[in-house]
Structure 1
Amino acid sequence: MPCVSFLLVGTCLLVLGPAVWGAPSQCPAQCHCHGDLQHVICDNVGLKKIPQVSEATRLLNLQRNNLGSLPTGSFASSKGLISLHMQHCQLHEIGGQAFKGLKKLIYLYLSNNEITSIKPGAFEDLTELTYLYLDGNRISDLPKGIFSPMINLFILQLNDNKLRDIKPGTFAGAKDLRWLHMSGNEMNSLQPGSLDDVENLAILHLDRNRLSTYPGLAMSKLRVVEELSLAKNPLRSIPDNAFQSFGRYMEKLNLDGMGLEKFSDAAFNGVTAIKSLHLDNNKLKSLPNSLEFTTITNLTLSNNPWSCTCMLAPLRKWMDSSRQRPDALCSSPSSQRGKQIRDSSAFSSCKVKTKRAKKGTRH
């Protein structure tokens, strides 16, 4: 993910803060310690349990050890931690109050484990946590309010788990969450109200799930989404006003590889800032009148059975005035089959109404 290098730089800056004096000064066996125990590195050293570290420790790296589970109070002596790395540790369960006492923790990496269960209260005390990585696990259910202590949570990675549903109240308390990644799960739907607690989301990734209907009710309270990905879900249609609640902020929309057959005519009502739109590998024949092309700078359209009639005249007009002329072949009428939309003569007699910019458009 593009933010990872930035986060690691941020981690390094944070962990070089002042040490807590008077704490134990011994480096755990098998580990490497730096900066007066501020960095404790125990990467791939055969650990079976959590080592005891000094309260001076700011970064603890436990990657690639066989830890199995995190019971209650696993980090009781590590109250100074800011960054905790436990990727590839064969973790299968996070116990209640597993991180109790880590009131300064900002970065928590639990990616690529075998976690199936997160007990209620597991994240108690993590009031400063800002970045939580739970991707690449086997989580099928999230208890209601599991993230409620995390009032500063900004990025949550839940990609590539076994999530089947998100219930109302799951994200209660995480009101400042901005990036929510839930790609590659098994969700058939999102319950109405399931995202009401995170109305300030800017990035929402739901691609590679099993959504067969557009989750409009679940997303109705979202106000400032800038990037939405629904790619590779078996969605056949997009309804009217699908993006209206956040349309003046949405700049990037991924709808590729869905088998998408149509947009309702008012699907793009309120969408005034879109720059990047991906519609390739679907079953689209036309585009709705509500889609405005004036702000688009990146558009993909290939592998759709486009009907080259005047319904696509606004698209052709945009192509004629844009530096970008994406691949898009006509499938019908028969006289135009196989021709690029950008080269087709089917639009020569079409009239396109010029749309005036709406007041309040976000630039």
Structure 2
Amino acid sequence: MEHLSLFLILSLLATAYPILQACPTNCHCHGGDLQHVICYSAGLTKLPKIPEQTRLLNLQKNFFPVLAPNSFKEMKGLVSLHLQHCQIKEVTSGAFRGLKKLVYLYISHNDISVIGTGAFDELSELTYLYMDHNKILEIPKGLLSPLFNLFIFQMNSNKVREVKAGTFTGAKDLRWLYLADNDITTLHPGSLDEVENLAIFHIDGNQLSTYPLAAVSKLRVVEDFRISRNPIKVIPDTAFQSFGRYMESLSLEHMGLEKFSEKAFAGVTTLKKLNIEGNKLSQLPANAPFSTMQNLTLANNPWHCSCQLAAVRRWMDSSRFRPDATCASPSQYRGQQIRDTGAFRSCKVPTKKSRKGERH
């Protein structure tokens, strides 16, 4: 009898084990112990049951309109979670509670308009957060507070209207911030104070009508700055000074930009790429950093080809890039390319002494 009982127990365990370890219906599983569970477009309306040792769960193109509290609490081993194109409308407070090992979270391309303040509680290891292409109206204060390891925050193509002071409290290690193609009219002073180490900052395609000098002046090491496609007419003095020693790429195209203040480029010493295409510029300031420039995009501006613009021609003559840029005035040079026109023939070349002075 004792042997029979042992045999029955072993038989039950043998039949139960495959059930516990079975790949969810309509899904594909890879790696030992179902470490990667792929349920892409599997017709799911409920979250599948997966073993705790699963590291990657791909649920793209299913239907989960609301992510309720503790939705993933049994999935403690997850490192990467993919929820793109799932028609999610609401992420409640505590939705991702328990995912203490999660590093990658993709909830982009959904219909999220409501996101609970505590939605990201316990995600202390989260490093990459993708929330682009949703309908989010605001980033709730405190939402990112648990995410002290956050490195990339992707929020392009939402409906955010303003960024308030304290928005990024807790996310002190954030390095890449993408806020392009929202409806932002205001970057409040103090809104970027907690993320002063941003290296990439994209806020193009918004509704900023004045340059947000007070907000960006706390940034220290921005290398790639995009603020194009905002209706800003004037770039003020010291616009980039706080991070000018690091900035290598600056995008200011298609803004209706009319003028750079004379000291707009103060402190900018490493700029390699500048795009100012499609604006209303006729001149550039004397301190524009041509000495470091490698790529300059100038087309579709009404350039006034006087000696004040001669530095552009000198840059073209010394560069392998000879970009399109057409004189709009004076009338005798209208329609001529800056790279070919004789408008600068009588302009004096700066002396060596003044060039040395510019570099310091």
TM-score by length of 2: 0.92
Instruction: Please list every run of at least 4 consecutive aligned residues from structure 1 whose deviation after the TM superposition is greater than 3 angstroms.
Output: none
Unaligned runs of at least 5 residues, structure 2: 1-16
Q: Please tell me the root mean square deviation across aligned C-alpha atoms, in Å.
A: 1.5
Q: Which amino acid aligns with 2:309?
A: L
1:151 aligns with 2:148: yes
Q: Whole-Å Cα distance in 2 between the matches of residues 357 and 270 of structure 1?
A: 14
2:205 match: 208
Once the 2 structures are TM-superposed, how far is the Cα of residue 78 of structure 1 from its aligned partner? 0.2
Residues 266/81 of structure 1: CA separation in 2 closer, same or farther (3 Å cut): same
Q: Whole-Å Cα distance in 1 between the matches of residues 309 and 20 of structure 2?
A: 71
2:179 match: 182
1:218 aligns with 2:210: no
Q: Which amino acid aligns with 2:78?
A: L
SS of the equivalent of 2:315 reads helix
2:64 match: 67
Please tell me whether the aligned partners of residues 24 and 55 of structure 1 are also in contact (alpha carbons under 8 angstroms). Answer: no
Once the 2 structures are TM-superposed, how far is the Cα of residue 355 of structure 1 from its aligned partner? 2.1
2:7 match: none
Q: Give the counterpart of 2:283 among 286, 295, 300.
A: 286
Bigger-Rg structure (1/2): 2
Q: Which amino acid aligns with 2:237?
A: D
Q: Whole-Å Cα distance in 2 between the matches of residues 101 and 352 of structure 1?
A: 66
Query: Which structure's residues are more often helix, by fraction?
Result: 2
SS of the equivalent of 1:30 reads coil
1:307 match: 304
Aligned length, in residue pairs? 339
Once the 2 structures are TM-superposed, how far is the Cα of residue 165 of structure 1 from its aligned partner? 0.5
1:323 match: 320
Once the 2 structures are TM-superposed, how far is the Cα of residue 220 of structure 1 from its aligned partner? 1.1
Once the 2 structures are TM-superposed, how far is the Cα of residue 311 of structure 1 from its aligned partner? 0.6
1:164 match: 161
Q: Give the counterpart of 1:191 among 153, 177, 188.
A: 188
Q: Whole-Å Cα distance in 2 between the matches of residues 154 and 347 of structure 1?
A: 48
2:54 match: 57
Once the 2 structures are TM-superposed, how far is the Cα of residue 29 of structure 1 from its aligned partner? 2.4
2:355 match: 355
Q: Whole-Å Cα distance in 2 between the matches of residues 50 and 215 of structure 1?
A: 43
Matching of residues 228-239 of structure 1 within 5 Å:
228-239=225-236
1:212-252: CA deviation from partner (whole Å, max 9, x where unpaired):
10011111110000000011111111000000000010000
1:186-227: CA deviation from partner (whole Å, max 9, x where unpaired):
011100110111000000001110111001111111000000
Q: Which amino acid aligns with 2:175?
A: R
Once the 2 structures are TM-superposed, how far is the Cα of residue 356 of structure 1 from its aligned partner? 1.9
Identity of aligned residues (%): 59
Q: Whole-Å Cα distance in 2 between the matches of residues 123 and 26 of structure 1?
A: 29
